[in-house]
Amino acid sequence: MLGNTMYHKKPLLALALLCIAGLSQAGEKEELLKLRNTTTSLIKQLVKQGILTDKMATEMLKQAEIDANQQVAEAKVIAPKEKEVVPADEVRVQYVPDFVKDEIRQQVRADLKNEVVGDVMQKAKKEKWGLPDALPDWVNRFKLSGDLRIREQSTFMASDNTASGNYYDWPTINNNGNPNGAGFNNAGQNALVNTTDGRSQARERFRLGIDANIASGFDAGIRLATGNITNPVSTNQSLGTYGNRYQINIDRAFLKYNAVDDNKFNWLSVMGGRTPNPFFTGGSEVVWDEDLSFEGLAGTVRHNFNDSGLTDSIGGKGATGYATFGIFPLQASTGMSTRDKWLLGGQTGVDWGFDNQDSLKFASAYYDYQNIAAVVDPRLNIAGSTCAGNTAISNQSAPQFMQFGNTLTPICNGANDGSLGLMGLASNYKILNFNALYDIALFSPHHVKLSADYAKNIGFSASDIQNKYRTYYVAGLVSQPSLKSVDTDAWQVRADVGWPKVDVGGHWSVFGLYKYVGSDAVLDAYTDSDFHQGGASNLGGTNVKGWVVGGNYGLMKNVWLTGKWMSGNVITGPQYGVDLMQLDINTHF
């Protein structure tokens, strides 16, 4: 078939070229006009019938024009010679009409444009013109992110609160666990919690994160943040410090490795350093404040149940089970002390997605604090003894950070008069924790989220505490901790309605929760720092119950407002209620 086509093309092509040659030889205008339409029709028919391609016609006419121009130039400068014998298979064209030239130009432009554009695009893609990848490779390995929040905070004390003097501000008395300067007398008027006078504050938080991709699956993360360097659960900076610039600290610095299988499933994550919280909380701050960073090593192993047939039998888009383990040093020993404080934690859970876009997350955890309880100085029962002669082990046992609520015991005397000195935790803390979150997508894009959190300190033992500290208390010097009202349970229920994420103009969400946190249910140092916030130290803590309502509204992309009202009261002890209002403008970038 191909041979027959080529056979028919040759005589037709020769005929077309002879017609054009005839135009150049005739030299007569009337002949040009007669043959013009004939030649045009012939060329178009050749192309239309598929005998001659556009490219072949263009090349043929272009070559004919070149040959014709060359012959005309030679005819002007060279004397006529003997008529040259033209080979049978050769056609010479001395003149090409303008209309043929125009068609040739248009065809050449079209072919040239497509070819050139294609070449340019290939080169631009290869050399990455105007693309992010045009930057050096190391630049593309880094990603910057950050957020800035401005807050107005007002504290309102309940009208029936007990007078100031019934509650001690233990963080101030303890001087961050430093025996030099610790004690009731050294704290002065700041030793007592303010229970009667409200206040208003302007506060700010700034955080800047840097994420770096080191190699495939291996990343590094760094975050800078404002805030008090000795407070692990808040990155707020109170305004009104013209005499000092803000402190910027390294809030996070960690390495992380993610392993994936052939199906791109992330089955293993390991991170070490100063890391984000590796445990699922369901949005609750009963055990862990949301601003808390962890120091140590944590790993998570995941299993995809989609291949087991379990999800098919029950229904759903997929379930993932996981187990997280972590070891975290809390306070390194000083001198020759061997009582380093550690946190050992483990959590198992399931993350389940259903066909209707609902999802369920459930987790159970166990947190075991090592060497967290106070070691009382043996000289506590000796009149005139002070913290100045403390042993290294006793000093090490004092918490570096506390909030409010945990049962405490004196470690040593603050002065010769037997006033309170360095304080420590009376109990051990071994916490069972259960979290659940159900996300209802029935009203999508608006969601309804229901969550619950329960914690229990199974490490508390009143009899052990009494036996342990019995010999260190004498009448008239210090008093034994009150253990009758100790509460080791904590729980919270919460509901959220609205957009899952509010950082776009017009998006909104509202929420409400009720919480109950017994005095020794969790370590007060790491629980919510905002709820029931009061005293000179602006700290939250345990031994509190109450509710929170609030909402978010998006002003524009990456800018939104948050309003929150918190009302809390002590569970046991003299009346001490605090209402807290927070109004925030939030941004992230």
Report d(CA 373, CA 461) in Å as an integer: 12
Coil, strand or helix: which one is 582? strand
pLDDT at 24: 47
Q: Can you tell me the mean pLDDT for 235-251? A: 89
pLDDT at 477: 40
Q: Does pLDDT of 471 surpass 70?
A: no
Q: Are 117 and 260 contained in the same domain?
A: no
Q: Are 164 and 32 contained in the same domain?
A: no
- Indicate the residue type of 299: G
Share of the chain above pLDDT 70, in %: 72
Q: Which residue has the tokens 């299988």?
A: 261
pLDDT at 30: 59
Please report whether residue 240 resides in a domain.
yes
What would the pLDDT profile of 526-545 be if each residue is shown by its tens digit?
999 999 986 556 689 999 99
Please report whether residue 30 resides in a domain.
yes
pLDDT at 14: 46
pLDDT at 26: 44
Please report whether residue 515 resides in a domain.
yes
pLDDT at 333: 75
Angle, vertex CA 317, rays to CA 314 and CA 318, nearest 5: 80
Share of the chain above pLDDT 90, in %: 46
Q: Does pLDDT of 428 surpass 90?
A: yes
pLDDT at 422: 83
Q: Can you tell me the mean pLDDT for 574-586? A: 95
pLDDT at 131: 57
What would the pLDDT profile of 107-139 be if each residue is shown by its tens digit?
766 666 666 667 767 776 666 665 555 667 777
* 489 to 26, 460, 568: CA distances (angstroms): 112, 11, 17
Report d(CA 584, CA 551) in Å as an integer: 11
Helices 29-48 and 2-26, axial angle in degrees (round to 10): 170
pLDDT at 494: 98
Report d(CA 364, CA 347) in Å as an integer: 6
Range of lowest pLDDT (160-169, 230-239, 411-420): 411-420
Q: Are 85 and 199 contained in the same domain?
A: no
Grade residue 35 by pLDDT with cuts at 50, 70 and 90.
low
pLDDT at 100: 64
Q: Does pLDDT of 67 surpass 60?
A: yes
Q: 478 vs 581, which has greater pLDDT? A: 581
Please report whether residue 208 resides in a domain.
yes
Burial of 226 (0-12, 13-18, 19+ CB in 10 A): buried
Q: 495 vs 116, which has greater pLDDT? A: 495
Q: Does pLDDT of 443 surpass 80?
A: yes
Q: Are 115 and 146 contained in the same domain?
A: no
Q: Which domain holds residue 495?
A: 137-588
Grade residue 474 by pLDDT with cuts at 50, 70 and 90.
very low
pLDDT at 25: 47
pLDDT at 168: 83
Helix H or strand E encompassing 436: strand 430-440
Please report whether residue 533 resides in a domain.
yes
Q: Does pLDDT of 146 surpass 90?
A: yes
Range of lowest pLDDT (86-100, 333-347, 498-512): 86-100
Examine the fold and report which residue of 106, 127, 148 is the final residue of a domain before the chain moves on.
127
What would the pLDDT profile of 178-237 be if each residue is shown by its tens digit?
777 777 778 777 888 888 888 899 999 999 999 999 999 999 999 999 988 889 999 999
Q: Are 92 and 228 contained in the same domain?
A: no
SS3 breakdown of the chain: % helix, strand, coil, rounded to 5?
25, 35, 40
Phi and psi at 142, nearest 5°, equal: -110, 145
Q: What is the CATH number of the domain that holds 163?
A: 2.40.160.10
Q: Are 166 and 48 contained in the same domain?
A: no
Grade residue 9 by pLDDT with cuts at 50, 70 and 90.
very low
Q: Are 274 and 232 contained in the same domain?
A: yes
Range of lowest pLDDT (157-161, 165-169, 233-237): 165-169
What would the pLDDT profile of 276-334 be if each residue is shown by its tens digit?
999 999 999 999 999 999 999 999 999 998 765 554 544 556 799 999 999 999 988 76
Grade residue 74 by pLDDT with cuts at 50, 70 and 90.
low
Examine the fold and report which residue of 84, 109, 127 is the final residue of a domain before the chain moves on.
127
What would the pLDDT profile of 337-389 be if each residue is shown by its tens digit?
578 999 999 999 999 999 888 999 999 999 999 999 998 887 776 666 777 77
Q: Are 255 and 369 contained in the same domain?
A: yes
Examine the fold and report which residue of 93, 127, 161 is the final residue of a domain before the chain moves on.
127
Cβ-based neighbours of 234, under 8 Å, separated by 6 or more: 227, 228, 289, 291, 529
Burial of 164 (0-12, 13-18, 19+ CB in 10 A): middle
Q: Which of 13-27, 62-76, 164-178, 471-485 has maximum average pLDDT?
A: 164-178
Q: Which of 429, 427, 398 is nearest to 412 (CA)?
A: 398
Please report whether residue 442 resides in a domain.
yes
pLDDT at 213: 94
Q: Are 210 and 106 contained in the same domain?
A: no
pLDDT at 8: 47
Q: 98 vs 458, which has greater pLDDT? A: 458
Q: Are 100 and 143 contained in the same domain?
A: no
Cis peptide upstream of residue 136 (ω within 30 degrees of 0)? no
- Per DSSP bridges, beta strands 359-370 and 341-353 are antiparallel
pLDDT at 4: 47
pLDDT at 5: 45
pLDDT at 384: 67
- pTM above the 0.85 mark? no
Count of the separate structural domains present in the chain: 2
Q: Which residue has the tokens 């291949």?
A: 307
Q: Are 281 and 375 contained in the same domain?
A: yes
Grade residue 3 by pLDDT with cuts at 50, 70 and 90.
very low
Report d(CA 511, CA 550) in Å as an integer: 5
Q: Does pLDDT of 584 surpass 90?
A: yes
Please report whether residue 132 resides in a domain.
no
CA torsion 154→160→164→170, rounded to 10°? -70
Cβ-based neighbours of 540, under 8 Å, separated by 6 or more: 289, 403, 404, 527, 528, 529, 530, 531, 532, 533
| Residues 219 and 254 sit within 8 Å (Cβ to Cβ) | no
| Residues 560 and 502 sit within 8 Å (Cβ to Cβ) | yes
List, as own/partner pairs, every contact residues 171-178 make where C-beta atoms lie below 8 angstroms and the sequence separation is at least 24, other chains included.
171/401, 171/402, 171/403, 171/537, 171/539, 172/536, 172/537, 173/420, 173/423, 174/398, 174/399, 174/402, 174/422, 174/423, 176/230, 176/400, 176/401, 177/395, 177/398, 177/399, 177/400, 177/401, 177/422
Q: Are 86 and 167 contained in the same domain?
A: no
pLDDT at 454: 98
pLDDT at 11: 47
Report d(CA 35, CA 439) in Å as an integer: 81
Please report whether residue 456 resides in a domain.
yes
